Structure 1
Amino acid sequence: MNGGGIRRWGWGSGRAEHLRADAQAAKDAAAAAFYELDTAQRELRISIETISAVDSSPAGRKAAADFAELGRRIDSVSHDYITAVDSHDLDRDDLDTAAASRARTELDRARGELERVKGELDRFAQSLGPQLTRAENQLARLAPAVERARQALLAASNALDAVRAQGLKADDLAARLAALSPELTKLNEGAGTHGVQETIHRADQVVREAEALRAQAEGLPQKAADIDKRLASLRTRTEALQNRAQQVEPVLSELRRRFSAACWQDLQQVPQQAERSARQADEKLREARTAREEQRWPDATALLSTVRALLNTTDEAVKAAGERLQRLNEVSFDHSKEVERTRFAIRDAQRLAMAGRSTPDPRHAQPLDNAVERVDRAVASLTGRHPDYWHLLTELDAVKETVQQVVEQIRQERAAGH
């Protein structure tokens, strides 16, 4: 039975085959763990690359560093797994029970290490969830942001062409649009060159500037029309004011004839001031017309504002002379009405100061008592052939202003106390 080359099967052959099968199962399990770890690492690398492309903060750099450290541990356990696989040929015919047992033990150990590191990798991936979401959201914004910038520049260019077709130069807008050309070049170079955050920021900035350009270009025809309208309106005002300014001298003559010098001395320069301001306004109008024709819109607008200010100042001076004569006429005819109105305001304030009190607050009573005395003195000063009625009027105006201040103070204090 021992000859003829026939293999002798011992009592342990069945056990050896069983151990071989167990070792093979351990090898398959380790291979599966190795594949799962490798797949998870590849997927997480994509996530880390996404975060790194967007997030240059300390948190972003830490995520990349932690992944690199995990990668080193993965390399270590992967090396141990490959070594274990290479060390044991489970297909050998002469595989004995000891070799099969060692193979199973080492492969089980390798699988356990692979699964342990896979668990670390999974927990790390889970911790990156918020960072990854933010990074993905920014990347999702990238392409639309760049496209919006391109469309905004195109719209600005089209708007500029449209106003030029109407004969408006818009050279300043054209220069600003040309200045955005380098920004478009950088956008076209992409986030790979300039970074995701910088590219999104640049795109948003281009959109804002291009939309502002478009709006200004579209508003240019209306601006030109408004300036034309203001030119015509201010021309009419200037001519009217020149005519009114000529009427100031007759008003001053009547003031000089009928009232004391104190009533009109401060108006002596009004005719000359009005004439000078009207002349200046006329000059500025001509300059504004030239600026409009040359399409220097800011200059035209500034000049028109100067004209308006000159006209307003002159108009007030001219009006003041006429109103002075009117008020002096009224008070010289009967000053009692103006005096009584002032006394009534004082009495009304005194009643308010006493409301709910047995004695007034000195802070309120003192200025009101002084107001009464000022009115009495002003009335008493009306003496002589030409009384100083203007002094009376200015004193009464000042008294009424003081009384109003006391009234407002009382109301504010009571509102705060309430």
Structure 2
Amino acid sequence: MTATHAQPHERAKASAVRDVLALVLLPVPMVAVALSGVMSGSFAGGGTRRWFGGRGESQRADAQAAKDAAAAAFYELDTAQRDLRISIETITAVDSSPGARRTVDDFAALGRRIDEVSQLYITAVDAHDLDRDDLDPSVASQARTELNRAKDELVRVKGDLDRFAAGLGPLLDKAETQLARLAPAVERARQALLSASNALDSVRGSGLRAEDLAARLAALAPELTMLNQGAGRHGVAETLQRADRVMRDAEAVRAEAERLPERAAEIDKRLVSLRTRAQALTNRAGTVDPVLSELRRRFSAACWQDLQPVPDQAANSVRQAEEKLREAAKAREEQRWPDATALLSTVRALLNSTDEAVSAAGDRLQRLNAVSKDPQHEIDRTRFAIRDAQRLAMAGRNTPDPRHARPLDDAVARLDRAVTGLEGRHPDYWHFLMETEAVRRTAARVVDQIREDRGAHHG
């Protein structure tokens, strides 16, 4: 075979290879359409196609090359769009923020542009049969022009799509991070529920009903159902929040269940301790009347009148405490743990106030005895506090600051009046003690103010 005859044959083989490559690059639906054309051209007549040499064949080859390039650009754009759609779906599954919604709208707008340029490409391909035996060179040239224009549009939109994809980084990273958290979060919630259930079974096995904990655990069952339905139905963000909430609630149930035996033991111990204390206070309250009798006998009415209600108040408080103790014991028997704990706290408060009132009577008698025997000790103690404050006020100064001097001068006068009040047949020693205490508090307050002022100045 001569070279002249061989050339059209070789060109035909090259054209066939290009057609097959174009089929590989085309998306699947277009492959089926294009393949039917290639098959019909390859097997209809078996080598009967006439080939035109020279300029006509060159135009056909250029048009076919343009068709191949456009097919490649179309395939690349379609692949990029498919990949980017996965990223968009990832973002929308997790993020409903305004930024994410704008991204979805921008992607939809890009999709419309892609549809337009894809239709331009498909129209150009369908408009020209480059395998026709009688293809006119001018038609081939027109096909090349249209296919090149379609390719350029495809490439331009592909560039816009790539730039859009590059800007998705932060949103996509955030979405992928949340998706990566999803499965572990759901699994942690399930394990927490299982641990809570096991802890509850163990507690019940020891004879404790734990009905409130069982109810709290049962209330989590619908949440577990929704977790099992998955993020596809409820959304990634909501599923993550639900998983975290279920885990926290289940862990709280487990912790309380594990502590329940210890809590029951603590309540039993407090019941015994508070019963013992109530009995002791009942005995101590009986000592208040003799104390009041001595106060009435030895001191003026002003020294003990405020203590008159103490015996009745103490007896009443102890009765209330004993009643609350019985209620607490019943709550413990019925395993109403919060009620038992609250009642025991009430008992403790009642006994504390009773203890203070009973102690106040004895303390009053003791302090009045001391000051009536030696009031000078209380006077000296108070004068020392005033002088100490005065020395500090004058340290490093020729004259004291009026803010310090005035309250100290008033304190001196107040102490003098208290001392004068002791003169007479029935001095009010309790008033005297209250006044000296007030004077010492004033002196201490001035000392604190001086030190604070000097500390701020040095600072």
**Counterpart Cα distance in 2 of 1:142 and 1:232:** 50
Pair 1:362 & 2:402 matched: yes
Q: Secondary structure at the match of 1:315?
A: helix
- 1:342 is aligned to 382
Structure 2 counterpart of 1:36? 76
SS at match of 1:344: helix
Q: Does residue 441 of structure 2 align to residue 401 of structure 1?
A: yes
The answer for the alignment partner of 1:120 in structure 2 is 160
Aligned residue number for residue 235 of structure 1: 275
In structure 1, list runs of 5 or more residues that go unmatched: 1-6
- Aligned residue for 1:258? 298
Unaligned residue ranges in structure 2 (runs of 5+): 1-48
Are the equivalent residues in 2 in contact too, given 1:263–1:391 (CA < 8 A)? yes
Identity fraction in percent: 75
Structure 1 residue 81, shift from structure 2 partner: 1.3
For 1:235 and 1:379, how far apart are their aligned partners in 2? 46
**Partners of 2:457 and 2:111 in 1: CA distance:** 72
Equivalent residue of 1:282, what SS? helix
Is 1:315 matched with 2:321? no
1:348-376 Cα distance to aligned partner (Å, 9 max, x none) = 11111112222112222121111111211
Cα distance, 1:89 vs structure 2: 2.3
CA displacement 1:132-166 (0-9 Å, x = unmatched):
11111112222222222221111111111111111
Could you tell me which residue of structure 2 aligns to residue 4 of structure 1?
none
- Among 282, 285, 293, which residue is 1:245 paired with? 285
Counterpart amino acid of residue 277 in structure 1: S
How far apart are residue 231 of structure 1 and its match? 0.9
Number of the residue aligned with 1:141: 181
Q: Distance in 2 between matches of 1:72 and 1:389?
A: 99
Confirm or deny: 8 A CA contact 1:258 1:386 kept in the other structure. no
Local SS of the residue matching 1:357? coil
Matched, 1:48 2:88: yes
Which moves more between the two structures, 336-345 or 188-197? 188-197
Instruction: Give runs of aligned pairs for residues 245-324 of structure 1, distance below 5 A.
Output: 245-324=285-364
1:174-185 alignment, distance < 5 Å: 174-185=214-225
* Equivalent position of 1:165 in the other structure: 205
**Which has the bigger relative contact order, CA under 8 A and spacing at least 6?**
1
RMSD of aligned alpha carbons: 1.8
Given the alignment of the two structures, is residue 219 of structure 1 paired with residue 259 of structure 2, yes or no?
A: yes
Matches within 5 A, 1:53-132: 53-132=93-172
What is aligned with 1:374?
A: 414
Q: How many residues align?
A: 409
1:415 matched to 2:451? The reply is no
Give the C-alpha shift of residue 219 in structure 1: 1.4
CA shift, 1:399, in A, is: 0.9
Q: Which residue of 1 aligns with 2:369?
A: 329
Q: What code does the residue aligned with 1:93 have? A: D
Do 1:281 and 1:311's aligned partners in 2 also have CA atoms closer than 8 Å? yes
Counterpart contact for 1:260–1:387, Cα < 8 Å: yes
Q: CA deviation at 1:385?
A: 3.8
Structure 1 segments of 4+ aligned residues over 3 angstroms from their partners: none
Q: TM-score, normalised by structure 2?
A: 0.85
Query: How far, CA to CA, are the matches of 1:285 and 1:106 in structure 2?
Result: 97
Distance (whole Å) between structure 1 residues aligned to residue 215 and residue 245 of structure 2? 17
Task: Quote the Cα distance in structure 2 between the aligned partners of 1:374 and 1:188.
Answer: 78
**In structure 1, C-alpha distance between the alignment counterparts of 2:311 and 2:100, rounded to whole Å:** 76
Please give the secondary structure, in 1, of the residue aligned with 2:424. coil
Q: Is the 8 A contact 1:177 1:213 kept in 2?
A: yes
